[in-house]
Structure 1
Amino acid sequence: MLNIKKIQDTMRNDAGVNGDAQTMEQIAWILFLKLYDYYESEWCADKEMQGESYTSIIPQELRWGAWAGGSKEKREKAPSGEILLGFVNNQLFPTLKNLNITESTPLNQAIVRKVFSDLNNYMKDGYLLRDVINEIDTSIIIHNKKDFKELCKIYEGFLKTLQSAGNAGEFYTPRAVTDFIIKLLNPSIGDKVADLACGTGGFLISAYHHLDSQCDNVEKRKILESSFYGIEKKSLPYLLCATNFLINGIENPNLTHGNAFEFSNFEELAFKEKFDCIVMNPPYGGSEKTNDIKNFPQEFKSSETADLFMALIMQRLSNKGKAAVVLPDGFLFGTDNAKINLKKRLLEEFNLHLIVRLPASVFAPYTGITTNILFFDKSPQGTKHTWFYRLDMPEGIKSFGKTKAMKLEHFAPFEQWDKNKIAIEEAQGNFKAQVYSKKELEARNYNFDLCGFVSEEEEILEPFALIEQIKSERERLNTTLNSLMSQISDIIKESE
Structure 2
Amino acid sequence: MSLTNIIKRLQDIMRNDAGINGDAQRIEQITWILFLKIYDTKEKDWEIHDDNYRSILPENLRYKNWAIDHKDGKALTGDALLNFVNNELFPSLKNIAITPKTLISQTIIKKAFEDNNNYMKDGILLRQVINTINELNLNGFKERHAFGEIYETILKSLQSAGNAGEFYTPRAVTDFMAKMISVKLGEKIADFACGTGGFLISALKELDSQVKTTKDREIYQSCIYGIEKKALPFLLCATNLLLHDIDNPEIYHDNSLTKNISEYKQADKFDVILMNPPYGGSEKENIKNNFPVELRSSETADLFMNVIMARLKRAGRAAVILPDGFLFGTDNAKVAIKSKLLSEFNLHTVIRLPHSVFAPYTSITTNILFFTAG
Asked if TM exceeds 0.5, the reply is yes
**Residues 228-377 of structure 1 correspond to what in structure 2 (within 5 A)?**
228-263=224-259, 265-377=260-372
With 301-310 and 242-251 compared, the bigger mean Cα shift is at 242-251
Q: Which residue of 2 aligns with 1:467?
A: none
Whether the 8 Å CA contact 1:163–1:170 is kept in 2: the answer is no
Please report the RMSD computed on the Cα atoms of aligned residues, expressed in angstroms.
1.2
Whether the 8 Å CA contact 2:77–2:127 is kept in 1: the answer is yes
Q: Which residue of 2 aligns with 1:65?
A: 64
Q: Which residue of 2 aligns with 1:171?
A: 167
Task: For residue 112 of structure 1, give the secondary structure of its aligned residue in structure 2.
Answer: helix
Per-residue CA deviation, residues 250-294 of structure 1 (Å, 9 max, x unaligned), is 22110111110111x322214451111000000101122321111
Distance 1:226 1:104 in 2: 17
Which is bigger in relative contact order (C-alpha 8 A, separation at least 6)? 2
Q: 1:126 pairs with 117, 123, 136, which one? A: 123
Distance 1:261 1:345 in 2: 18
Whether the 8 Å CA contact 2:266–2:313 is kept in 1: the answer is no
Count of residue pairs brought into register by the alignment: 371
Instruction: Quote the offset at 1:149 in angstroms.
Output: 2.2
Per-residue CA deviation, residues 2-53 of structure 1 (Å, 9 max, x unaligned), is 31111001000000000111011000000000000000000000013xxxx2
Instruction: Quote the offset at 1:347 in angstroms.
Output: 1.3
One-letter amino acid matched to 1:6: R
Distance 2:138 2:30 in 1: 18
Q: Which residue of 2 aligns with 1:135?
A: 132
One-letter amino acid matched to 1:242: A
Distance 2:95 2:139 in 1: 31
Distance 2:298 2:267 in 1: 25
Distance 1:208 1:271 in 2: 24
Instruction: Quote the offset at 1:144 in angstroms.
Output: 2.0
Q: Give 4+ residue runs of structure 1 displaced > 6 Å after superposition.
A: none
Task: For residue 278 of structure 2, give the secondary structure of its aligned residue in structure 1.
Answer: coil
1:32 maps onto 2:32 in alignment: no
Percent pairwise identity? 59
One-letter amino acid matched to 1:89: N
1:8 maps onto 2:11 in alignment: yes
Per-residue CA deviation, residues 343-375 of structure 1 (Å, 9 max, x unaligned), is 111111111000000111210121121100000
Whether the 8 Å CA contact 1:192–1:276 is kept in 2: the answer is yes
- Change over 3 Å in CA distance of 1:210–1:308 after alignment to 2: same
With 161-170 and 145-154 compared, the bigger mean Cα shift is at 161-170
Distance 2:203 2:266 in 1: 25
Larger radius of gyration: 1
Distance 2:92 2:222 in 1: 28
Per-residue CA deviation, residues 216-247 of structure 1 (Å, 9 max, x unaligned), is 00111101101110000110110011011112
One-letter amino acid matched to 1:5: K
Distance 2:151 2:282 in 1: 30
Whether the 8 Å CA contact 2:288–2:296 is kept in 1: the answer is yes
Instruction: Quote the offset at 1:143 in angstroms.
Output: 3.1
One-letter amino acid matched to 2:176: F
Q: Which residue of 1 aligns with 2:114?
A: 117
Whether the 8 Å CA contact 2:23–2:160 is kept in 1: the answer is no
The TM-score with structure 2 as length reference comes to 0.97
Q: Which runs of 5+ in 2 are unaligned?
A: none
Distance 2:160 2:350 in 1: 27
Q: 2:93 pairs with 93, 96, 120, which one? A: 96
Task: For residue 73 of structure 1, give the secondary structure of its aligned residue in structure 2.
Answer: coil
Q: Which residue of 2 aligns with 1:460?
A: none
Task: For residue 17 of structure 1, give the secondary structure of its aligned residue in structure 2.
Answer: coil
Q: Which runs of 5+ in 1 are unaligned?
A: 380-496
One-letter amino acid matched to 2:123: G
Task: For residue 133 of structure 1, give the secondary structure of its aligned residue in structure 2.
Answer: helix
Whether the 8 Å CA contact 1:270–1:315 is kept in 2: the answer is no
